Chain A
Amino acid sequence: MAPVEAIERSPTAGVPIVIRGVTKHYRAARGGDVHALAEIDLSIKAGEFVSIVGPSGCGKSTLLMLVSGLLAPTSGTIEINRLPVKGAVPNIAIVFQRDVLLDWRTVLANVLLPVEIKKLDPVVHRQKARELLRSVGLSEFEDKYPAELSGGMRQRVAICRALVQGPGLLLMDEPFGALDALTREQMNLDLQRMWRRDRNTVLFITHSIEEAVLLSDRVVVMSSRPGRIADVVVNELSRPRGAHTRSEPRFVEHVERIREHFLALGVLSET
């Protein structure tokens, strides 16, 4: 693929996360108390790729919002890089299912948005933004507007925007959920490649069990209402992983183990 090795390794490699006894209650729109998360304990090592899978409404997106500092937990503490999270965290980046590119900015200007807002060095980061776009095959699209790009290209731009600041922690909330199956497979490989280069800590939320197993060092399985951790699957499969990985017995084993949880939780039913 593209010459990724040409890009220097980010000086801000991944940061560790420690989540201790975090719970979250919130008021529903129609009144009443929703118990979204019950006692989550989770430690993530610096540079680790951790996925969270679980049924809809299990609070996995809430957990991501808590880690980002955009929501505050009802109780418990979250530490990123040994510092407690209070409000927006400086060294993180988020990718949502919707690419939320700004229609009025060109592709390059979109990638540079965090640089502008955080008032980072524009010259250095402009160079880096260009290299990132090149590494995902979008060099020719730098000056195009998002409306001229396909869904997969747009999400690539959103990922470049997240990576331009060299974040210690990358939070991804079903980033490939809106893409077609083929584009999604390619995006998985692209993401793995970029992660292996930068070694950010990644917290990745997905509905796809196979995607989680393919990408992660560990897969956290959550059950719903209130959301809690049902299982943590340690995935030692060798990297780089690809299409060949899916046929490995250990891969199939991991997928089966997670699927069993969903069957037990009643999220999947075979009858």
Chain B
Amino acid sequence: MTTVVAADNAPLITSRAAGWINRNGPVLAAFAAIFALWEIGVRAFAIPDYLLPGPLLIASKIISSWQLLLLNAVVTLEEILSGFLLSVAVAIPLAVAVVYSRLFERVAFPFMVSLQTIPKVALAPILVIWLGYGILPKVMVAFLISFFPIVINSVIGMRSAEKEMIYLVQSMGAGELTTFLKIRLPKALPSIFGGLKVGMGQAVVGATVGEFIAAENGLGYLQLISQVRLDTTLLFAAVVVLSFLGVLLFNIVGWIEQLVLPWNRVATEIVE
């Protein structure tokens, strides 16, 4: 594999690149068009930078302030991941409890579903009072907001096994644990990953909002400071980095999904 002659390899690479362009070309073209229009508009109408900086200016700001952005991004990333992992650690065992316990099914689950309608962001100021200015309130907001999609999707997934499937393994003498490990859990994984993807996006929102309310660092905090200083370009730069972080984290979950569930791609992808 490693000793492929370059000449033989070249057409493969070109065809791969062609495939990549085929798939992603339209999206890239759309982004390029928007940025071009934006840049042209900003220059043509001489819009001041404190109102709307052009994409080139934002790009150069990101490059010149990369250390500042990186430092704050690391803080926000830590909050997002802590909140998200806490969600996973609580939501999945809870989903198992809902599927296996009548009490949890009848009381806890409807309770959680009704709690979901509370705007969790509105709880952030209360959490600051309780938990102070450190990382904890941001982690808690990220946790609260990403928790519900994960638990609900996990429950739906674990309930999705057909009754014949359960009969089948029971007739083979499987107990509850075996049934769970061999049937319910793998059957639920696509749905669980759906919940994880939504939850990851929500955790980014939660951490940022937490920083808006009370923080001493982080991308949300940087945005707040830039706003006060009317440094709109830095504000945009923070938005770009935050968006990049969100997309990256979402895709990492997606990559893990593809790695863990190769069969799911086979089942859902349309063969060309």
Whether the pair B266, A89 counts as a contact (CB closer than 8 A) is no
What distance in Å separates the Cβ of A208 from its nearest Cβ neighbour in chain B?
20
> Pick the contact of B168 from A65, A69, A96, A145 — CB < 8 Å?
A96
Whether the pair A117, B164 counts as a contact (CB closer than 8 A) is no
| Chain B residues in 8 Å Cβ range of A96 | 164, 167-168
> Pick the contact of B171 from A69, A102, A105 — CB < 8 Å?
A69
> Pick the contact of A147 from B165, B168, B187, B266 — CB < 8 Å?
B266
Interface majority SS (helix, strand, loop, mixed), chain B = helix
What distance in Å separates the Cβ of B102 from its nearest Cβ neighbour in chain A?
17
- Interface membership of A148, Cβ < 8 A: yes
| Chain A residues in 8 Å Cβ range of B264 | 103-104
The CA-CA distance from A228 to B68 in the complex, in Å, is 81
Give residues of chain A (89-141) contacting chain B, Cβ–Cβ below 8 Å: 89-90, 92-94, 96, 98, 100, 102-105, 113-114, 116-118
| Chain A residues in 8 Å Cβ range of B187 | 102-104
| Given the contacts A98-B162, A113-B182, A68 and B267 also touching, CB distance less than 8 Å | no
The CA-CA distance from A70 to B166 in the complex, in Å, is 10
- Interface membership of B173, Cβ < 8 A: yes
Give residues of chain B (150-171) contacting chain A, Cβ–Cβ below 8 Å: 162, 164-165, 167-171
> Pick the contact of B165 from A65, A100, A148 — CB < 8 Å?
A100
Whether the pair B164, A114 counts as a contact (CB closer than 8 A) is no
Whether the pair A70, B170 counts as a contact (CB closer than 8 A) is yes
The CA-CA distance from A48 to B164 in the complex, in Å, is 25
> Pick the contact of A118 from B165, B168, B172 — CB < 8 Å?
B172
What distance in Å separates the Cβ of A129 from its nearest Cβ neighbour in chain B?
15
Whether the pair B178, A102 counts as a contact (CB closer than 8 A) is no
- Interface membership of B186, Cβ < 8 A: yes
Residue of B nearest to A88 (CB): B173
Whether the pair B263, A94 counts as a contact (CB closer than 8 A) is no
| Chain B residues in 8 Å Cβ range of A114 | 172
Whether the pair B167, A102 counts as a contact (CB closer than 8 A) is no
- Interface membership of B261, Cβ < 8 A: yes
The CA-CA distance from A117 to B171 in the complex, in Å, is 10
Contact with A along B205-246 (1 / 0, CB 8 A): 000000000000000000000000000000000000000000
The CA-CA distance from A96 to B186 in the complex, in Å, is 21
Whether the pair A148, B171 counts as a contact (CB closer than 8 A) is no
Whether the pair B172, A104 counts as a contact (CB closer than 8 A) is no
The CA-CA distance from A114 to B174 in the complex, in Å, is 9
Whether the pair A98, B164 counts as a contact (CB closer than 8 A) is yes
Residue of A nearest to B173 (CB): A88
What distance in Å separates the Cβ of A88 from its nearest Cβ neighbour in chain B?
5
Residue of B170, B172, B173 with highest tally of chain A CB at under 10 A: B172
The CA-CA distance from A102 to B263 in the complex, in Å, is 10
- Interface membership of B96, Cβ < 8 A: no
- Interface membership of B189, Cβ < 8 A: yes
| Chain A residues in 8 Å Cβ range of B121 | none
The CA-CA distance from A114 to B183 in the complex, in Å, is 13
Whether the pair B162, A100 counts as a contact (CB closer than 8 A) is yes
| Chain B residues in 8 Å Cβ range of A69 | 171
| Chain A residues in 8 Å Cβ range of B182 | 102, 113, 116-117
| Given the contacts A94-B168, A100-B162, A147 and B173 also touching, CB distance less than 8 Å | no
Whether the pair B171, A70 counts as a contact (CB closer than 8 A) is yes
Whether the pair B267, A94 counts as a contact (CB closer than 8 A) is no
Residue of B nearest to A144 (CB): B266
| Given the contacts A117-B178, A117-B182, A88 and B170 also touching, CB distance less than 8 Å | yes
| Given the contacts A104-B261, A147-B263, A90 and B167 also touching, CB distance less than 8 Å | no
Whether the pair A103, B171 counts as a contact (CB closer than 8 A) is no
| Chain B residues in 8 Å Cβ range of A116 | 182
The CA-CA distance from A88 to B174 in the complex, in Å, is 9
The CA-CA distance from A105 to B264 in the complex, in Å, is 10
Residue of B nearest to A116 (CB): B182
What distance in Å separates the Cβ of B268 from its nearest Cβ neighbour in chain A?
8
| Chain A residues in 8 Å Cβ range of B165 | 100, 102
What distance in Å separates the Cβ of B188 from its nearest Cβ neighbour in chain A?
11
Residue of A nearest to B178 (CB): A117
The CA-CA distance from A63 to B187 in the complex, in Å, is 29
What distance in Å separates the Cβ of B39 from its nearest Cβ neighbour in chain A?
46
Whether the pair B169, A117 counts as a contact (CB closer than 8 A) is yes
| Given the contacts A104-B263, A117-B178, A148-B266, A88 and B183 also touching, CB distance less than 8 Å | no
The CA-CA distance from A179 to B167 in the complex, in Å, is 22
What distance in Å separates the Cβ of B256 from its nearest Cβ neighbour in chain A?
15
Residues of A within 8 A of B (CB): 65, 68-70, 88-90, 92-94, 96, 98, 100, 102-105, 113-114, 116-118, 145, 147-148
Name the 6 nearest CB pairs between A and B, nearest first: A147-B267, A117-B172, A96-B164, A145-B263, A104-B186, A100-B165
Provide a sorted-by-A list of 21 A–B residue pairs whose CB atoms are within 8 angstroms.
A69-B171, A88-B171, A88-B173, A92-B171, A94-B167, A96-B164, A96-B168, A100-B164, A100-B168, A102-B165, A102-B183, A102-B187, A103-B263, A104-B189, A104-B264, A105-B263, A116-B182, A117-B172, A117-B178, A117-B182, A147-B266
